[in-house]
A and B are shown apart, each in its own frame.
Chain A
Amino acid sequence: MDRRKSIQTMILGAGAGAAGLALHGCNTDGSTQTEEAIAKSTETYFGRTPEELERLAKLNAEQLFNAHEMETISALSTVILPPKEPHGGPIEAGVPEFIEFMGKDVPKLQTTLLGGLMWLDHKSNTEYGTEFKAATLEQQKAILDPIAFHDMEVPLDQQALEIQFFYLMRGLTLTGYYTSKVGIADLGYKGNQPNVWDGVPEDVLAQHGMAYDPEWIAKCVDQSQRGVIAEWDEKGNLLT
């Protein structure tokens, strides 16, 4: 279902049912427009205060990495997480731009990122006479293999810079990918949309060897009655 449609259905129709369901306190007549506006706002704003918008504008006006460094980040992130149909990879997920932004947003990351990129080219030039981004995949892997598995027994900040750099780049690449539209699709996450929760599906319960206790479930919400106004007896027993 189309996202905007599903919000409307949820808010105006499904479950609640009753005509004239007023969801916005003072604004009952204009509720259709309000729902439209809410759905549309997703595309326009992301709920920032004026101060936050100002800071965003300032960060966006800065530049941390030069073009070569951005290309190197693209190349490295793609080795870390190769693209795969149908959900693409770091480039489709906007990972290089995200890493550029985070470097500005959290300045303490900058030295590790800038220094690590220099290390990468220095190593590649020394070993293969070419920059990392222009090296073959085999050469790139040969550079990364010694730094891609850090020692779990030693705190990261006590390990070599290139190891810290790779750890950070892998983390940012993975988090950047899985917080993107394509990455969320790859993961298969089904939430962040209006729905009616009515428990774990049977096949999932079976897979994990779990079952609902009928006594517990008897106390839970009957979703077919969710649109009916609650009433109780004087002892607190729900009547509706």
Chain B
Amino acid sequence: MQIKESSDVYDVIIVGSGAGGGMATKQLADAGLKVAVVEAGPYFDPADPKTMTQLKWPYESPRRGANTDRVFGEWDMAYGGWEIEGEPYTHEEGTEFDWYRSHMLGGRTNHWGRISLRFGPHDFKGKDKDGLGDNWPISYDDVKPYYDKVDKLIGVFGTNEGRPNDPDGFFLPPPKPRLHELFYIQGAKKTGIPVIPSRLSMLTKKINNDRGVCFYCGQCSRSCSVYADFSAGSCLIFPAQKNGGQVKIFVNSVVREVTTDEEGKATGVSYISKDDRKEYKLKAKVVVLAASACSSARILLNSKSKQHPNGLGNSSDVVGKYLHDSTGSSRAGFIPGLMNRKPSYNEDGVGGMHVYTPWWGDNTKLDFPRGYHIEVWGGMGMPNYGFGFNPNDFNKFFGLSVGGYGEGLRNDVKKYYGSVIGFGGRGEPVARKDNYCEIDPTTVDQFGIPVLKFNYKWSDFEKKQARHMQQTFEELIHNMGGEPLGDTPTKEQDYGLEAPGRIIHEVGTTRMGDDPKTSVTNKYQQLHDAKNVFIVDAGPFVSQGDKNCTWTILALSWRASDYIIEQLKQQNI
């Protein structure tokens, strides 16, 4: 089989079209560069009626929204999951990592929670605080101007609270709290922990003439057809095209490797087309990887050549190392004060919480080094598969019998509708060199590309943090006059700590640094080993605070794009 080579030479090839790739596309195309975006999945536009799930009713699905086909339920807008047929990954025995992938234009930005938190000054300098992990080679001040620009370009609601490690920004106004959130605010006050309006990238107010304003269906996970939430396609790639940018999108194209020349510089990429299962080559002056932390690491490790025998950018042997996901532990509670609700109004709100708790603790007085924030859910949501399955389980809290049948079940369902509140703790792990992914030489995917093998274990730091989450949740539920559901997760259950990868914030596999021996990229996300290769996903993160990583991916991708433009102008690359 002959590899088909296009004679076009692009200024930049961008691999992946999620947050990092989308932002690079927008910035580089706006600067007049000729850009090729290579995406493993199909084209996707949230406004296309054929693929749209927004405002669908459960009865439009024969399985009533159950998660048999899509792991987050029938309506979730991600094509992929933790397991993808024909695209396996493996594990070192006795370790675990669940790898979530979404192959489509816009990637995981089409379904994510839009929790858009800046990293604070301490989050870039964790080692200075507790001696663990490493500092970033950059500080909050380096990134602040880009966070500001991202806020204004994309839109995020929230409030300026003047908190030292939860920086202020340029916020749209937040929505008012829902009823269960008022209960939460009261419970948190009693517990002595802060609550502030959440910070989500949804347009509660108009931001430009191209995007609609939120109409409060609560379905951002379905990707907004009027572009009122942030998705990389609708907010970055389409606007770049509309702006007259030279953007060529290659969909269903799985990148195998970055190709290099005699001097070790990148010449482009080779990819396999899912449509005809043939291999193609594209050429460019610059290659930008944005395929996700683990996918970009995989591409680098698979890009072996005479000049880069250990994989591209891997002379340090650091590619794939320091992989880390957020910690997560969850709990729900039954709140009698929320019983017998009047469903007289629509409280769908935005697609996520209207309030949250940022980290409040002093880790020098705790038995774990890093913090976590608390996400809150509840309310009178739309029924989907599973609703009413246990119509009167909460009778047990009143000494009444559970189960039965007959007309009374209708009353039970209504009595308890909206009376549950749930918490998700999302915390910062400590990045470690011995948590990593590498190439498994024994296994390939259906495209013949060697797959990743994961080796990841939580340490006591993360487990103790999860224990603290559970203690806090129980206290909160108690202070809301409620009863925690289920038993307290035990030490043997790691206190409910989710397996690594489950929170889908994997970062760190191509970390940045000043020393080429201990890092993969420099502080501009440029490979130490190949000047015309950049990484703009979360791979270059040294750590991730307890903040969801997307807003920082966007800010750093913009910063790296500015650097690429500058370097091209100066003919340095």
A interface list, Cβ under 8 A from B: 7, 10-11, 15-16, 18, 20-27, 34, 37-38, 40-42, 44-47, 49, 52, 55-56, 59-60, 79-82, 84, 94, 97-98, 101-102, 105-106, 144, 148-150, 152, 167, 170-172, 174-181, 183-184, 186-201, 203-205, 207-210, 212-213, 216-217, 219-222, 225-230, 232, 236-238, 240
Contacts and interface: CB of A to CB of B under 8 A. Distances in A.
B64 to A, nearest CB: 4
A144 B205 contact: no
A204 B344 contact: yes
A215 to B, nearest CB: 11
Contacts of A204: 179, 341-342, 344-345
A118 B157 CA distance: 57
B225 A38 contact: yes
B69 interface: yes
Given A94-B59, A98-B64, A195-B216, A41 B49 contact: yes
Nearest to A170: B405
Interface string B343-367: 1111111100000000000000000
B217 A193 contact: yes
A106 to B, nearest CB: 6
B149 to A, nearest CB: 12
24 contacts: A25-B242, A26-B242, A38-B225, A45-B50, A81-B406, A105-B66, A174-B413, A175-B388, A179-B59, A187-B383, A194-B216, A196-B215, A199-B177, A200-B176, A216-B177, A216-B197, A220-B174, A220-B175, A221-B172, A221-B204, A222-B173, A226-B205, A230-B206, A238-B172
B407 A84 contact: yes
Contact of B155 (A40, A181, A190, A230): A230
A25 B217 contact: no
B176 A212 contact: yes
Given A46-B74, A150-B402, A232-B170, 20 more contacts: A15-B215, A46-B60, A46-B61, A81-B410, A149-B403, A174-B391, A175-B64, A175-B383, A175-B385, A179-B58, A194-B217, A195-B215, A196-B215, A199-B176, A200-B347, A210-B182, A210-B183, A216-B185, A221-B174, A230-B172
B66 A25 contact: no
A110 to B, nearest CB: 14
A190 B344 contact: yes
**Interface residue SS majority, chain A:** loop
**Interface residue SS majority, chain B:** loop
Contact of A189 (B65, B242, B382): B382
Contacts of B410: 81, 84, 186
A10 B50 contact: no
B69 A41 contact: no
Nearest to B224: A23
B63 interface: yes
B348 A236 contact: no
Contacts of A44: 49
B168 A192 contact: no
Interface residues of B, number: 106
Contacts of B177: 199-200, 212, 216
Interface of B: 42, 45, 47, 49-53, 55-66, 68-69, 74-75, 79, 152, 155, 157, 159-160, 168-179, 182-183, 185-186, 197, 204-213, 215-218, 225-227, 234, 238-239, 241-242, 337-338, 341-350, 380-391, 396, 401-407, 409-410, 413-414, 417
A82 B176 contact: no
Contacts of B61: 46
Contacts of A196: 215-216
Contact of B402 (A46, A152, A172): A152
Per CB-CB distance, the 8 closest pairs between chain A and chain B, nearest first, are A41-B49, A174-B388, A188-B343, A194-B215, A179-B58, A171-B389, A47-B53, A199-B176
A210 B205 CA distance: 27
Nearest to B393: A152
Nearest to A14: B215
B168 A236 contact: yes
Contacts of B207: 229-230
Contacts of A199: 176-177
B208 A24 contact: no
A106 B68 contact: yes
Contact of A197 (B216, B380, B391): B216
A149 B174 contact: no
Contacts of A94: 59
B227 A25 contact: yes
A234 to B, nearest CB: 9
A176 B179 contact: no
Contacts of B210: 22, 25
B289 to A, nearest CB: 26
Given A105-B68, A221-B157, A221-B174, A10 B345 contact: no
Contacts of A240: 205
A47 B342 contact: no
A149 B385 contact: no
Most buried by B among A41, A191, A236: A191
Nearest to A150: B403
A125 to B, nearest CB: 21
A197 B354 CA distance: 11
Nearest to B186: A210
A197 B69 CA distance: 32
B338 A220 contact: no
Contacts of B341: 204, 208
B173 A238 contact: yes
Contact of B226 (A23, A220, A238): A23
B173 A220 contact: yes
Contact of A144 (B42, B60, B405): B405
A220 B197 contact: yes
B157 A46 contact: no
Contact of A11 (B183, B212, B342, B404): B212
A179 B64 contact: yes
A21 B209 contact: yes
Nearest to B234: A25
A179 B384 contact: yes
Contacts of A200: 176-179, 182, 345, 347
A228 B213 CA distance: 10
Nearest to A20: B209
B175 A149 contact: no
Contacts of B45: 25
A192 B52 contact: no
A73 B210 CA distance: 51
A17 B75 CA distance: 30
Contact of A42 (B55, B64, B383): B55
A49 B51 contact: yes
B305 to A, nearest CB: 36
A101 B58 CA distance: 14
